[in-house]
């Protein structure tokens, strides 16, 4: 479908143009900006209203998202391979992309004063695959957020798309690319204005070129770097998906979590202000070799076993989660299948206990990360703090000043009270269990809350993670053709059937409806409970329970994907059966 073939209602252009001009005029009237600032806002309004026009002006019989096709079809993308990609080639591209990811996480943003950077995503770095203050600062956050929005809108039938139809599915993927680009700007602009201060030398240099606009130009340059870095992540994910093995997003998460686990276990660099190593093993050796039996019995064992950073219980909890996830990943129900025509040809269709994989917990963690960012902005941003009803409200979330945060030895992004505190990821046993057994000594861990509020925090966080993961598991099954109806069609198309039942999709669907909806709920609840439970116990390197859960699942899935690729290399006839190219 080309641009001329898309039916449109041009009358939408007039109200959208009026809205855009009104916003620019109000900004000019109230703030008296410089000419450059006015031009930048004008360009932003033109792009926003143009995007809205493409969608709203579509007058065809299908979803309004079809109006975005002229844009989605022109975005930079990685082309599909024309034939079978050999295993060696896939391994090459996979390894190259991972190495590029590590390289980008060590390239700091040009023009940023790193000493003043406030990390809005500090608690969720493990699952957002980003690195603070670098070109990869946003990580996969905008990509995951766009996926969440699209899934919710399609699942709630707000967007009318049938994902079993190839054309609608292609439009869904194209629209998601556009939304990713939008979310990159939405997440990068608040991150820069107020939380990434440009260095004074850069501002002074730009002011000499454009008087009065030095700070604006510096912030624009930083935003451009964040946009470039995040879209590069999106393209690298496409490279892995089309030319490599597995998912690029999953590999980035696994790489970041692995780095945190290694550092948390083996890091011998002393903690800030002390001579005690921060890694679990060096820290334990230090206490055992430098403190006597009396010192250990009077508090040393608590420091080794339970107290942050990286206590032994966190290392043990991480290992337990590894084994639990590996066990649940291998647990499955196998439906017997037989070929309708070839006698004796039998097989099994596996329904894993983790049927929705680890995607629901990624999406749920991304939701909590976005909630955290919004509450921080509503409390600390000078403009949003005065927003009616929700701006600057303690019951939504209050945060410490720089001075108070340094006194408490916490980050400025750590909530002190309100809903944000109850949804904050617990930082191991020290954050809730130690105050329960000795409130007088460890009450500072609860940041002024009573012991019963600490219990409520644990219950709320655990319940939200489990319930949210179940919800996203259901949405994920619906949007990825893993529901009973789609699976029944796949089995029927392969020529297989369940013994004792007619070879008909409706019959297969009724059989599968006994299993898939139940397994979907169990799957979401299991991954949510495992991730939340690991957060409550604590993990080494602050990798978070979600990070450890994802790492194990990603490694298992990557191993299985490599096995399938090797099978297809040995026997090309297996490619169609295993989902490869013919």
In-domain check, residue 4: yes
CB 58 within 8 A of CB 64: yes
Query: Band of the pLDDT at 1, cuts 50, 70, 90?
Result: very low
Q: What is the DSSP letter of 348?
A: E
CB 60 within 8 A of CB 9: no
At residue 572, the pLDDT reads 58
Together in a domain, 100 and 245: yes
At residue 343, the pLDDT reads 62
Together in a domain, 21 and 127: no
What's 255's domain CATH number?
A: 1.10.3370.10
At residue 3, the pLDDT reads 47
Cis peptide before 487 (omega within 30 of 0): no
Together in a domain, 17 and 141: no
State the average pLDDT over residues 83-88.
82
Q: Which SS3 state, helix, strand or coil, does residue 501 take?
A: coil
In-domain check, residue 253: yes
CB 126 within 8 A of CB 546: yes
Return the percentage of the chain with pLDDT > 90, whole number. 15
At residue 359, the pLDDT reads 80
Instruction: Among 242, 267, 292, identify where a domain stops.
Output: 267
At residue 411, the pLDDT reads 82
Question: First CA to last CA across the chain, in angstroms?
Answer: 27
Together in a domain, 103 and 188: yes
Distance, CA of 142 to CA of 184 (rounded, Å): 5
Domain ranges, residue 11 = 1-73
H or E element at residue 69: helix 69-72
In-domain check, residue 14: yes
Together in a domain, 66 and 92: no
At residue 422, the pLDDT reads 94
At residue 375, the pLDDT reads 92
What's the length of the chain? 582
Q: Structural domain tally of the chain? A: 2
Rg of the chain, C-alpha, whole Å: 26
**HSE on the CB side for 413, CA within 13 Å?**
20
In-domain check, residue 113: yes
By the 10 Å C-beta count (0-12 exposed, 13-18 middle, 19+ buried), 63 is classed as buried
Together in a domain, 146 and 174: yes
Cβ neighbours around 76 below 10 Å, total = 9
Together in a domain, 177 and 239: yes
In-domain check, residue 190: yes
Together in a domain, 243 and 151: yes
Together in a domain, 256 and 115: yes
Query: Band of the pLDDT at 420, cuts 50, 70, 90?
Result: very high
Together in a domain, 250 and 107: yes
Distance, CA of 565 to CA of 245 (rounded, Å): 8
Q: What are the C-alpha distances in Å from 29 to residues 22, 41, 216, 280, 386?
A: 10, 13, 19, 58, 20
Torsion sign over Cα 72, 76, 82, 85: negative
**HSE on the CB side for 67, CA within 13 Å?**
20
At residue 341, the pLDDT reads 62
Together in a domain, 55 and 164: no
CB 265 within 8 A of CB 543: no
- CA-nearest of 555, 158, 144, 121 to 357 is 555
Q: What are the C-alpha distances in Å from 32 to residues 220, 227, 539?
A: 19, 28, 51
The contacts of residue 362 (CB under 8 Å, 6+ apart) are 127, 144, 253, 546, 550
Maximum Cα interatomic distance, the chain, rounded to a whole number of Å: 83
Residue 462 has pLDDT above 90, yes or no: yes
pLDDT tens per residue across span 493-522: 777 777 777 667 777 888 888 888 888 999
CB 503 within 8 A of CB 340: yes
In-domain check, residue 100: yes
**Strands across the sheet with 332-339, in order?**
346-352, 332-339, 496-497
State the average pLDDT over residues 205-222.
87
In-domain check, residue 318: no
Together in a domain, 44 and 95: no
Instruction: Among 267, 282, 301, identify where a domain stops.
Output: 267
In-domain check, residue 91: yes
pLDDT tens per residue across span 342-384: 565 666 777 888 888 778 888 888 888 888 888 998 998 887 8
H or E element at residue 352: strand 346-352
Query: Band of the pLDDT at 461, cuts 50, 70, 90?
Result: very high
Name the H helices within 244-358.
248-266, 280-290, 293-295, 301-305, 312-330
The contacts of residue 528 (CB under 8 Å, 6+ apart) are 360, 361, 364, 465, 466, 467, 468, 469, 470
At residue 426, the pLDDT reads 86
pLDDT tens per residue across span 280-333: 999 888 888 887 766 666 667 777 888 778 888 888 888 888 888 888 877 887
Residue 455 has pLDDT above 90, yes or no: yes
Whole-number mean pLDDT of the chain? 83
The contacts of residue 236 (CB under 8 Å, 6+ apart) are 97, 100, 101, 248, 252
Instruction: Among 16, 44, 73, identify where a domain stops.
Output: 73
Distance, CA of 252 to CA of 139 (rounded, Å): 9
């Amino acid at each position: 479908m080309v641009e001329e073939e898309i039916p449109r209602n041009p009358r939408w252009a007039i109200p959208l143009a009026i809205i855009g001009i009104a916003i620019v005029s109000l900004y000019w009237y109230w703030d008296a900006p410089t000419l450059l600032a006015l031009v930048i806002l004008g360009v932003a309004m033109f792009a926003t209203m143009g995007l809205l026009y493409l969608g709203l002006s579509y007058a065809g019989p299908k979803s309004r998202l079809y109006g975005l096709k002229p844009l989605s079809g022109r975005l930079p993308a990685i082309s599909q391979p024309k034939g079978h990609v050999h295993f060696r080639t896939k391994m090459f591209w996979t390894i190259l992309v991972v190495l590029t990811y590590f390289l980008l996480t060590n390239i700091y943003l040009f023009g940023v004063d790193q000493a003043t950077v406030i990390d809005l995503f500090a608690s969720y770095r493990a699952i957002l695959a980003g690195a603070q203050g670098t070109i990869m600062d946003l990580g996969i956050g905008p990509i995951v957020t766009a996926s969440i929005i699209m899934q919710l809108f399609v699942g709630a039938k707000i967007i009318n798309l049938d994902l079993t139809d190839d054309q609608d599915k292609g439009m869904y993927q194209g629209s998601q690319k556009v939304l990713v680009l939008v979310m990159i700007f939405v997440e990068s602009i608040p991150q820069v204005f107020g939380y990434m201060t440009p260095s004074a030398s850069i501002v002074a240099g730009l002011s000499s070129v454009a008087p009065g606009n030095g700070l604006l130009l510096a912030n624009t340059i930083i935003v451009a770097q964040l946009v470039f870095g995040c879209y590069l992540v999106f393209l690298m994910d496409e490279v892995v998906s089309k030319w490599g093995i597995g998912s690029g997003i999953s590999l980035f998460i696994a790489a970041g979590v692995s780095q945190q686990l290694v550092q948390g276990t083996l890091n011998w660099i002393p903690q800030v202000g002390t001579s005690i190593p921060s890694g679990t093993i060096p820290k334990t050796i230090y206490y055992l070799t430098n403190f006597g039996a009396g010192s250990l019995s009077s508090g040393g064992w608590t420091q080794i076993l339970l107290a942050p950073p990286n206590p032994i219980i966190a290392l043990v909890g991480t290992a337990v989660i590894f084994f639990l996830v590996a066990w649940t990943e291998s647990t499955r129900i196998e439906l017997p299948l037989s070929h309708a025509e070839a006698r004796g040809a039998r097989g099994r269709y596996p329904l894993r206990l983790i049927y929705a994989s680890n995607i629901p917990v990624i999406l749920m963690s991304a939701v909590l990360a976005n909630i955290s960012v919004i509450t921080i902005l509503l409390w600390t941003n000078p403009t949003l703090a005065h927003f009616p009803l929700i701006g600057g409200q303690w019951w939504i979330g209050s945060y410490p000043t720089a001075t108070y945060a340094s006194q408490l030895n916490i980050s400025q992004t750590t909530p002190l009270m309100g809903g944000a505190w109850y949804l904050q990821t617990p930082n191991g046993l020290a954050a809730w269990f130690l105050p329960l057994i000795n409130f007088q000594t460890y009450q500072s861990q609860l940041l002024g809350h009573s012991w019963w509020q600490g219990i409520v925090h644990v219950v709320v966080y655990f319940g939200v993670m489990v319930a949210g993961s179940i919800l996203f598991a259901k949405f994920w099954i619906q949007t990825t053709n893993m529901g009973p109806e789609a699976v029944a069609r796949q089995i029927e198309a392969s020529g297989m059937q369940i013994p004792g039942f007619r070879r008909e999709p409706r019959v297969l669907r009724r059989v599968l409806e006994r299993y898939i909806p139940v397994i979907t709920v169990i799957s979401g609840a299991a991954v949510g409970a495992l991730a939340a439970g690991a957060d409550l116990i604590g993990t080494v390197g602050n990798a978070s329970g979600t990070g450890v859960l994802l790492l194990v699942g990603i490694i298992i899935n990557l191993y299985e994907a490599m096995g399938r690729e090797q099978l297809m290399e040995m026997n090309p006839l297996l490619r169609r059966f295993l989902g490869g190219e013919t």
